[in-house]
Amino acid sequence: MSPRKWLHGIRSPADLRQVPRDRLGEVARELREEIVEQVSRTGGHLASSLGAVELLTALHYVFDTPRDRLVLDVGHQGYAHKMLTGRREAFETMGREGGIGKFLRPCESEYDHFGAGHAGTSISAALGMARAIQHRGEDAVAIALIGDGGMTAGMAFEALNHAGALRQKNLVVVLNDNEMSISPNVGALSSFLSRKLSAPMVRRMKGFAKEFLGTLPGDMLHWAQKAEESLKVFFSPGLLFEALNFRYVGPVQGHRIEVLLETFENVREMLAAGDGPVLVHALTAKGYGYEPAERDPLTYHGVSPFEVTSGRMEPSRPGPPSYTRVFSDTLIELAHEDPRIVGITAAMPGGTGLDRFQREFPSRFYDVGIAEQHAVTFAAGLAAEGLKPVAAIYSTFLQRAYDQVVHDVCVQNLDVTFAIDRAGIVGADGATHQGFYDVAFLRTLPNMVVMAPKDENELRHMLRTAVEHPGPAAVRYPRGGGRGVPLDPEIKSLPIGRSELLRDGDHVLIAALGTLAHEALDAATELAAEGISAAVVNARFAKPLDAERISALAGRCGAVVTVEEHSGLGGFGAAVLEALAAAGVTARVRVLAIPDVPLEHGSPAAQRAGLGLDRAGIAAAARELLARGERR
């Protein structure tokens, strides 16, 4: 790593503020180089972080963090923030067990004022902080830094509406807009106007003009006001924010550090004068300063390790297709058969595999933006008119639309299929992205069918089953590659609520949901070598559960181990316990699942082993259970 003239001496924003103002451009350049070098080794979120370097540098320089609260939306853009707040030397540990997180975590730094993993939350959180600061009679400021993608979340506009109604005077929203295209001349004029219009003298002139207009006769006042409105339309793209009672400043050039410094200093004076809340509209470019990421920001949003000079990423190791790819291929195949099938995603076409569906069926694909609530109710509306919508949403993001799943889909028994990607342990993304709760909140809902395949071949059959089922159905599947099993040439529908007996046995029943069925089979083989006869059931369905088969086997064996990559509270194991109780079956039961604590980032395989969700852990649980009583 090349030496950094300024960064080596910056361990906090207080150190940053000691840097001469005219040298901050060099700090930003060093930060950008450091981010590229570090992420080239560890992988991570690159393009978004590069695009926010100057913004974060200027915010920390002008505002008194951590006394002033800085809330970042999602955290994809936060690598410069992490480096400026004492975590530069820990960057190589990012996403690894015991290392720093990829997103913001209050437990990690006093400068991470709010945990950020899901988009659209920053303005609500910052408004709450600003209000609490006001209640205490303090004069600190709360700042929300949100991307234009995050602004597609309905929650962001709910927060803007509330902040405007409160006329919250110590709140700043910085909109990091990396999508809007403005020509150089217009951009330069807008930047100049926004900086000058935020200056104290111009604000005083506006006040004088307002008083003057009030003295004019009726007709003259009418035409003067019309002229004023016309000028606002011509000069300001921020009428929406002005209508929400925000003082709009922008657009400003988000990669010119001197422009940002002057703008934020003027904004700070506006707040001191009681002119808040303020929205600063900054134009940036994803991947700015690193040519491969500027050229292809989508590919370089989240990257694996790569070569800095060329931008070439390390080739992925050959292996079986991912579950996401198998889902995409299968949905395309089914959609060729049935023109009623449409695909829906909430700003994740690439992550869910629906980008390939979009290319095949552009008129039958919908990306609704970061709006999971709308995605689900939109799907319900499509289903109400006889279409077959398939909503592909990560498990962690489906949580955001729980009311819509209940009220708009399940209660009305509408034919919506939920393809729940990233179910289970997700690795480096950590606690905010783990998919541990979908079975629990879905299996309680009327009319809902909940499935989990043991491998990619079964995923294909389950997708057809869900699409053909005339009601709500969910298929949950994990992140990453499949097992490499052969794919059946024909996609068949499975009988709803029927499990699969993978191995018969008499001493202990191992009932597994999802891909851990293969670990259960391996555990049964290990136990057989010790004279322990284990039956293994691939449950397939968490709802409706195959209570008949599971109860019969549990009654015969007298000992049951349930296995799932999901929370132990309310999940598959809980469903088995309920079924045994209803059937009056007495058996010793051990539920192997995710414990009731947040699971942070780390290696998925190591985390499964640590939780006893691998072959060795399952076999050990069976031995311990059998040791408590006589074998049947």
pLDDT tens, 6-48?
888 899 999 999 999 999 999 999 999 999 998 888 888 888 8
Cβ pair 116, 48 in contact under 8 A:
no
Query: Poorest-confidence range of 13-17, 178-182, 434-438, 559-563?
Result: 178-182
Q: Please give the average per-residue pLDDT across 193-207, as a whole number.
A: 47
Whole-number percent of the chain with pLDDT over 90: 71
Half-sphere exposure of 285 (CA within 13 A, CB side): 14
pLDDT digits (tens, 9 = 90+) for 280-330: 999 999 999 999 898 888 888 888 888 888 888 877 778 899 999 999 999
How far apart are the C-alpha atoms of 232 and 239, rounded to whole Å? 8
Q: What confidence score (pLDDT) does residue 107 get?
A: 87
Q: What pLDDT score does 544 carry? A: 98
pLDDT: is 131 or 78 the higher one? 131
pLDDT per residue as tens digits for the range 231-286:
444 445 578 888 899 999 988 999 999 999 999 999 999 999 998 799 999 999 99
CA distance 168 to 477: 44
**Could you say which of 29, 400, 476, 608 is catalytic?**
400
What is the C-alpha to C-alpha distance for residues 214 and 239, in angstroms, rounded to an integer?
22
| Arithmetic mean of pLDDT, 593-621 | 94
Q: What is the mean pLDDT of residues 562-572?
A: 97
Indicate the pLDDT class of residue 3, thresholds 50, 70 and 90: low
8 A C-beta contact, residue 270 and residue 276: yes
280: helix, strand or coil: strand
Residues in the chain: 632
pLDDT at 233: 42
Q: How confident is the model at residue 98 (pLDDT cuts 50, 70, 90)?
A: confident
**CA–CA dist 322, 343 (Å, integer):** 19
DSSP 8-state code for residue 429: G
Evaluate if residue 61 carries a pLDDT over 50.
yes
Show the domains of the chain with their CATH numbers: 7-199+238-303 (3.40.50.970), 323-476 (3.40.50.970), 501-627 (3.40.50.920)
Residue 458 has pLDDT above 60, yes or no: yes
- Does 232 participate in catalysis according to the annotation? no
Among residues 108, 372, 519, 565, the one annotated as catalytic is 372
Burial 78-97 (b: 16+ CB within 10 A, else e): bbbbbbbbbbbeebeebbbe
Write down the pLDDT at residue 440: 97
pLDDT-based confidence at residue 597 (cuts at 50, 70, 90) = very high
Predicted local distance difference test score (pLDDT) of residue 192: 42
Lowest mean pLDDT segment, chosen from 116-120, 516-520, 602-606, 622-626:
116-120
Query: What's the mean pLDDT in 340-357?
Result: 95
pLDDT at res. 232: 46
Q: Are 136 and 170 in contact (CB under 8 A)?
A: no
Residue 226 among the catalytic residues:
no
pLDDT at 7: 86
Among the residues of 43-167, which ranges form H helices?
47-51, 53-62, 79-82, 122-135, 154-166
Q: In this model, does residue 352 exceed pLDDT 70?
A: yes
Long-range contacts of 3-10 (CB under 8 A, 24+ apart): 4/30, 4/33, 4/34, 5/30, 6/30, 7/31, 7/34, 7/83, 7/88, 10/83, 10/84, 10/88
Catalytic residue among 82, 286, 543, 608: 286
Axis-axis angle for helices 456-468, 323-337 (nearest 10): 40
Q: Which helix (H) or strand (E) holds 173?
A: strand 171-177
- 8 Å CB contact between 59 and 145: yes
Q: What is the pLDDT of residue 217?
A: 57
Q: Is pLDDT at 193 greater than 80 in this prediction? A: no
Q: Which of 206-215, 498-507, 538-547 has the lowest mean pLDDT?
A: 206-215
| pTM, entire model | 0.85
User: What residues have CB less than 8 Å from 540, skipping those under 6 apart?
Assistant: 451, 452, 453, 454, 458, 462, 494, 498, 499, 500, 513, 546
Average pLDDT value for residue range 576-587: 97
Q: Are strands 508-512 and 449-451 parallel, antiparallel or unpaired?
A: unpaired
Nearest-angstrom CA–CA distance, 70 and 56: 10
Strand order in the sheet with 69-72: 69-72, 142-147, 171-177, 278-283, 247-253
Q: 562 near 576, Cβ under 8 Å?
A: yes
Q: How confident is the model at residue 215 (pLDDT cuts 50, 70, 90)?
A: low
Q: In 3D, which of 430, 429, 470, 432 has the Cα closest to residue 449?
A: 470
Confidence of residue 56 (pLDDT cuts 50, 70, 90): very high
- How many angstroms separate the CA atoms of 105 and 81, rounded? 12
Residue 397 above 70 pLDDT? yes
> What integer is the mean pLDDT of 182-209?
43
Residue 117, token pair as written in the block: 């993993």
Phi (first) and psi of residue 62, to 5 degrees: -85, -40
Q: Tell me the two tokens of residue 5.
A: 């003239």
Active site residue 286: yes
Decide which of 601 and 354 is more confident. 354
Residue among 132, 141, 121 nearest 66 (CA): 141
pLDDT at residue 91, rounded to an integer: 84
Tell whether the model's pLDDT for residue 165 goes beyond 70. yes
The strand pairing partners of 420, in sequence order, are: 393, 476
Structure-token match 């451009």, residue found: 25
Question: Which of the four pLDDT bands, split at 50, 70 and 90, describes residue 449?
Answer: very high
In angstroms, the Cα distances linking 125 to 101, 131, 162, 429 are: 20, 10, 12, 21
Do residues 528 and 479 touch, judged by C-beta distance below 8 A?
Answer: no
Q: Would you say 176 and 146 are in contact if contact means Cβ atoms under 8 Å apart?
A: yes
Residue 498 pLDDT: 98
Contact (Cβ atoms closer than 8 angstroms) between residue 491 and residue 475? no
Confidence of residue 479 (pLDDT cuts 50, 70, 90): very high
Least confident of 35-49, 319-333, 508-522, 611-625: 35-49
Residue 372 pLDDT > 50: yes
- State the pLDDT at residue 230: 44
Is residue 99 a contact partner of residue 601, using CB atoms and an 8 Å limit?
yes
Residue 221 is predicted with a pLDDT of: 46
Residue 609 CA from chain centroid, whole number: 25
Rounded Cα distance, 237 and 187, in Å: 12
589-609: average pLDDT: 93
Where is average pLDDT lowest: 395-409, 423-437, 509-523?
423-437
The predicted structure's pLDDT at residue 197: 47
- Average pLDDT for the chain: 89
